[in-house]
Chain A
Amino acid sequence: MSTELPVLKAKDFESDQDVRWCPGCGDYSILAQMKKVLADIGAKKESTVFVSGIGCSSRFPYYMDTYGMHSIHGRAPAFATGLKSTRPELDVWVITGDGDALSIGGNHLVHVIRRNLDINIVLFNNSIYGLTKGQYSPTSKIGKVTKSTPRGSIDHPLNPLSIAIAAEGTFVARSVDTNIKHLCETFKRAHAHKGTSFVEVYQNCNVFNDGIWDYAKDKKTKDQSTVVLEHGKPLVYDNGTKGIRLNGFQPEIVELDGNVAVDDLLFHNEKETQPHLANVLARMRFPEFPEPIGVFRAVERPTYDEGINQQVEEAQAEQGVGDLAKLYAAGDTWTV
């Protein structure tokens, strides 16, 4: 008898359901990379669960031949909490969008992150409501003209990474739907992290918000408009011609023309205990700055699922496994 485990390929993670996203949607790439990553890391189909809320991205679980739950709007982190707390051995992924996670589900997002439940959250950020056909979202910029904002949005947008960092997220990262290699790497790191992994993915909605991330995706511009974060390395971009230096708490762009030494640049430290630096990076937005791509923060903290199960184990070790007769007889009783 062979003791070798069957090796699954990306295709094995595909369900029998037709994918119904619009042709050209950025979701296709994310789906493809997810299947590839699961195959690469040797994930088991039966031990993997995708939980989603409502929105285009939230159809994701239907397309994976794993366990899945397409839940209700904004609440995926809450379902995941009940599942992971009781079945900590499962690999739980939450798939969400900018409206689902940051608007209707904002409360659950910050709470699941601060509890550090050991799950992976992938937020597909397309800065628009796609499934309801084109209203502005919590990440849409001021002035954004949409069906519900004909005179332009007056809502100040949220920065997903700043939210995750403020909630004391232990793993906070950003990637881009078509940056296949980077996206796969980021998913693998998110999966390997113990605690809540939060990954924002720039995702193009080619129907309602086409091209908003082109600066970060386009081969011609992405070197100038993004800076790839690598732990322990200086922030250098645009083919090594530019770097980011800290001036007090403010980042500034410097030309690496010989007058500035690389050693003077900001060196990325994803393990920094305090979240300040990660937030400085999160707040660097295009076009004022190149936008950082990669892992902003990766620190260790006890997880919620560990804690809740540990308390059960401790109670059982101290008091013995619960016995109903003993429970009923505890305290004052009398006999008739």
Chain B
Amino acid sequence: MILPTDQFPPTQKPSESVSGVTVRLAGDSGDGMQLLGTQLTNTSALSGNDVATFPDFPAEIRAPRGTRAGVSGFQVQFSAEEIFTPGDGLDALVCMNPAALTTNLTDLKKSGILIVNSDSFEAKDLKLAKLEESPLEDGTTDPYRTIHVPMTKLTRGAVESTGLSTKFADRCKNFFAMGLVFWLYGRDVEPTLRFIDNKFGKKAPEVAEANRLALKAGWNYGETTEDFASTYQVSAAELKKGNYKNVMGNQALAWGLISAAKLSDKDLFLGSYPITPASDILHELSKHKNFGVRTFQAEDEIAAVCSAIGAAFGGSMAVTTSSGPGIALKGEGMGLGLMLELPMIIIDVQRGGPSTGLPTKTEQSDLLMAMYGRNGESPLPVVAAQSPADCFRTAIEAWQIATRYMIPVMILSDGYIANGAEPWRIPEVDSLPKIPVSHPAGQKQNGEPFLPYKRDENLARPWAIPGTEGLMHRVGGLEKEDGTGNVSYDPDNHQHMVETRANKVAKAAEFLDPLEVDGPDSGTLVLSWGGTYGSCRTAVKACQENGKSVAHAHLRWINPFPRNLGEVLKRYDNVLIPELNTGQLRLIIRNEFLVDAKGFNKIKGKPFSVTELVEAIEAIA
């Protein structure tokens, strides 16, 4: 169909050029803020901006309407420059109700744009948000450029011709808000019109039409109202040449896994149990069965990891995905995977803990569990993805290590990068590394026993799979005699095997890139890991611009550490380790390198802001 883009004429008002904009959309969890945010992100990315997002929503699917607990937010920064975070202070905040306003207003820059749905500030709305007075009337919003928009009324009017009931008409409010925001920043409506058509065009044409009308009404409202004197333009960013696509962390992980399977000529098996914020990996992989992907939604977390081990024994690329509570349950299974010396991938998309904790909030507090959370001496390689797009590379690297050393590898992600989005430079398939995997060939039994634990130069044992003639062998969780793999209680053999399993992990450092340092060779080193890469990098850059001698190094592999880490740490007077936990990496670094590293720790379920990091760095630099 022809999309009515011509109904969205470019503005006649003056347009101010800005380098970047941070917008947050906040409303009730049923208001469609995540949809609005995703659309704004996609259209910005397609226009060539660099983008970074931070969706923030409650754990409840429909928390009580209008309450503070039910507020769902989506923050996006789009920029003409390369960016690494979804931004700190907000340039604009859209609030659909008083609860959204009260819980988000402090993040809006002074004189920033505040767009509110003024129809939802009635006495009953205020009561739901536990407010005595309307913040629109008591001076709360005075420091901001507040624009009252009667969105409910205007949306109802706009969609009247479709004959939708009030209930359904009100659901189009987010498209009205979208139209207004798109107008304000000169965003292209075409991708959103296409989205509306794909989603509702066939199923519910009247809903499609209503959403288009609401979008248009929002756009026109911006052009007509005198509240906005001008619009803003953000030009395309100078990213590295290539084809780009906007990806979220979980999606990039799934695609990385599919790619790793293909690169190693393996079929992918996922054993998984639904858990926030990891379920989207299961959902994404389930869509790609044509890649030979088999997904098994297990009866529990334990069955999920065990089924993966079973698939690995059979010769598949086996994966299990979860978050902290699920990883806690998988511990015994992971230990078996380590004893069996089978390659597989275990993904922990970290969330706030302990126990059920904060399911939809981010945290980096599973590091010690990933490193040490199993019975016995059971080290596993651990790699932490640093950004949504980096999840792709992380999955491929993890499978390279798993197969090269015959060992389960843990990938740490977190809620922030799992649901966050950024542009991903689409790789040429030929540029991706082939992952060599082989299984010993069958042979006639000749009286010589097959040695399932005979090791190669990487200490890896042969991946002999059932169905292969003459290589019948038994594996299990009891200690193995090296070489034969027979059950052994021999004291010296046990020590040898414990050391051998640890040496395999240590050896992986030979294969991995050394640590890169961004900045001077002396002064202060900011050492970060995982999902805080973007904010740490941005903060260090700001400190460097302020003339401070501050360098940044970012760890992706925590086990093994990059082989030059000790040498890098020695160069600096101060080492600061910012973490979204109480100091888990710091504990390991201090233990391993006897370095008096300082911590900057935040455990609020939220990522670091650049501002707070700059303050913390400059306090010691």
Chain A residues proximal to chain B, CB less than 8 Å: 15-17, 45-47, 49, 51, 54, 61-62, 64-72, 75, 77-87, 89-90, 107-108, 111, 308-309, 311-312, 314-316, 318-322, 324-325, 327-329, 331-336
Contacts and interface: CB of A to CB of B under 8 A. Distances in A.
A15 B474 CA distance: 10
A49 B290 CA distance: 28
A308 B470 CA distance: 29
Given A47-B466, A332-B246, A327 B288 contact: yes
B329 to A, nearest CB: 11
Interface of B: 42, 45-48, 191, 236, 238-246, 255, 258-259, 262, 267, 269, 271, 288-294, 296, 298-300, 302-304, 306-316, 318, 332-333, 336, 340, 426-427, 429, 432, 442, 449, 465-478, 486-487
B474 A61 contact: yes
A322 B476 contact: no
Contacts of A86: 267, 269, 294, 310-311, 314-316
B244 A312 contact: no
Given A79-B307, A82-B314, 14 more contacts: A69-B313, A70-B476, A71-B477, A81-B310, A82-B318, A84-B310, A86-B269, A86-B311, A87-B314, A90-B314, A309-B294, A315-B288, A334-B244, A336-B238
A82 B472 contact: no
Contact of B303 (A51, A67, A78, A335): A78
B94 to A, nearest CB: 23
Contacts of B271: 78, 81-82
Interface centre among B236, B258, B288, B309 (most CB of A within 10 A): B309
A98 to B, nearest CB: 19
Contacts of B467: 46-47, 87, 89-90
A90 B427 CA distance: 38
In this complex, the member of A45, A78, A84 whose beta carbon has the largest number of chain B beta carbons within 10 angstroms is A78
A87 B298 CA distance: 18
Contact of B48 (A49, A71, A107, A336): A336
Nearest to A12: B445
B310 A51 contact: yes
Contacts, number: 209
21 contacts: A45-B472, A46-B471, A51-B310, A70-B478, A71-B476, A72-B477, A78-B306, A81-B298, A111-B299, A309-B294, A311-B289, A312-B293, A318-B290, A321-B292, A324-B432, A332-B245, A334-B45, A334-B244, A335-B242, A335-B243, A336-B241
B333 A49 contact: no
A308 B474 contact: no
Contacts of B48: 334, 336
A336 B246 contact: no
B274 to A, nearest CB: 15
Contacts of B255: 327-328
Contacts of A311: 289
Question: Which residue, A51, A82, A316, A329, has most C-beta atoms of chain B within 10 A?
Answer: A82
Nearest to A82: B310
Identify which of B259, B298, B307, B442 gathers the most chain A CB atoms within 10 Å of its CB: B307
